[in-house]
Amino acid sequence: MTETAIQFWSGLNTIGGNIISLQYENYRIIADFGAMVGANVDDLLNRSLTSQLLNEEKLPKIPGLYSKQVLKDVELESFEDSDVETIICLSHLHLDHLGSFGQLSSTIPIYALKDSVEFYGHLKENELLPSYDVDWHPVEDFGTIQHGPFTIQFIPVDHDTLGAASIFITAPDVKVIYSGDFRLSGFHPEKVLTWAQKARAFDADILLIEGTTFSHVGAEPSEADLRIEQMTRNLMAKNEQQLLTSLKKEMAKAPDKLVAFNGYPQNITRLIRFARIVNGHGRQLVLDKRYYQLMKAYLIQPLAMTYIGEGGITVEQINEAPHQYALQVDIEDLTALFAVKPGLYFHSNGMPLGSYDPTYEPFVRRVVDYGWEFVLANAGGHASPNDLLLVNRVIKPKLVVPWHTYQPKLYGEAIAAQGQNVWWPSYNKTYYWSQLSEKLGAKNEKN
């Protein structure tokens, strides 16, 4: 009897790079195809490096994905020689979920929520994401597609990018939920609550669920963390709304100072709402021109904003009246940050991200030494450990795979302590639900 073959290719014990395939006869679904840990994103755009990346285990050795021309001496079935019909289902636009798209055969269909596909177009046009030569297929919110025997539904969730989805997969013999990345602390927690309710009703056999924040449970601050703590002030926001409220209060306490903001371009909602706060304090937001063009595409109401350069304003104008402006900066061009009069600097999930990046501490020191007051103004893109456990309890699948975390064992043990069945799969193995349900004692009916 034919069964659905389940294989894990990456992401079992890392944050990101999650890749799983489900295959029934000659139909295959791959969920996400991001940059694996250790891979250089620029290298992943270069198809002349495909064979090298495969040999260095910076690309998954999945047969039937890569063209014959780029495989060279790698012993792997090419896309041209394969009779397997493959599609890729994308949960969201972060590089750890799509960063390897540049290595795919350009004719493999990529399915994602419509909002995600449209947002990708704007990010690509403004050089805020790489240009991938792939075959995009937008799906409406809650929309369903058919791929051979597979029925696939895309359920919107809240994350720090537009168009994030959880993917429900129904095969002839197994039902799987691929959670993607999500949070309850964002602008639309109701999306996650709706998703969790639908996931429970779906009665999944297997739930593949992210556990990013469990990576930090029990971790002691590093020496770098302690040094950075001495140089910075942390707003300690628990959610997006609390962060915006804190930013508003901080700006009110510094009416005469220039304000700078380093944020994440994909969190376009935060950028727009920060711009409203800036305008509410009688200031104009001065943007990197790429961000300026990106924001224009998503504005419902006009905002007082401009950019530095031809058609915009100059650093000299900012220095003449710093209290009239807020400066948005990006790690790729810090010229203005170190040319204006320093004031209040908000580091709001911008690059560099944190102390695990060796460039972060020198960056903080440089900003502080120039005279800026460095304020950490972050709000996470991932569900807290308590929220993750809550969602697991609500969904109540037959079997849970904890991944997208550096501590899958710890995460899984916390799930198991709730009375749920947990599975820690391995690479280089093929799994079938009939074997899993018997071996691991997964229940066919919810308690």
Task: Report d(CA 253, CA 341) in Å as an integer.
Answer: 17
245 shares its domain with 171: no
Q: How many CA atoms lie within 13 A of 383 on its CB side?
A: 27
| Total number of domains in the chain | 2
Residue 77 falls inside a structural domain: yes
Percent above pLDDT 70 for the chain: 98
Kindly report the CATH number assigned to the domain that includes residue 87.
3.60.15.10
Low-confidence spans in the chain with pLDDT less than 70: 1, 441-447
Query: Does residue 176 sit within a domain?
Result: yes
End residue of a domain, out of 323, 342, 376 = 376
The percent of residues in the chain predicted with pLDDT above 90, rounded, is 94
Containing domain of residue 368, as a range?
223-376
**Count of CB atoms situated within 10 Å of the CB of 244:** 19
Residue 114: how many CA atoms within 13 Å on its side-chain side?
Answer: 6
CATH code of the domain containing 291: 3.40.50.10710
Mean pLDDT for the chain?
96
Question: Same domain for 392 and 366?
Answer: no
Please check whether residue 147 lies inside any domain of the structure: yes
In a domain, 109, yes or no: yes
| Gyration radius of the chain's alpha carbons | 23
Within a domain: 216: no
The whole-number pLDDT of residue 447 equals: 40
| Same-domain pairing of 71 and 165 | yes
Q: How high is the pLDDT of residue 16?
A: 85
Q: Are residues 358 and 400 in the same domain?
A: no
Res 439: pLDDT = 76
The angle formed by the CA atoms of residues 233, 239 and 240, to the nearest 5 degrees, is 90
Residue 248 placed within a domain: yes
138 and 20, same structural domain? Answer: yes
Is residue 366 situated within a structural domain?
yes
Give the pLDDT confidence score for residue 379 in this predicted structure.
97
| 277 and 165 belong to one structural domain | no
pLDDT digits (tens, 9 = 90+) for 365-415: 999 999 999 999 999 999 999 999 999 999 999 999 999 999 999 999 999
pLDDT, residue 441, reads 64
Q: Which single residue is written with the structure tokens 């940059």?
A: 35
Q: Write out pLDDT tens, residues 121-178.
A: 999 999 999 999 999 999 999 999 999 999 999 999 999 999 999 999 999 999 999 9
DSSP-assigned beta bridge partners for residue 136: 110
Domain membership flag for residue 309: yes
Instruction: Name the token pair of 59.
Output: 């690309």
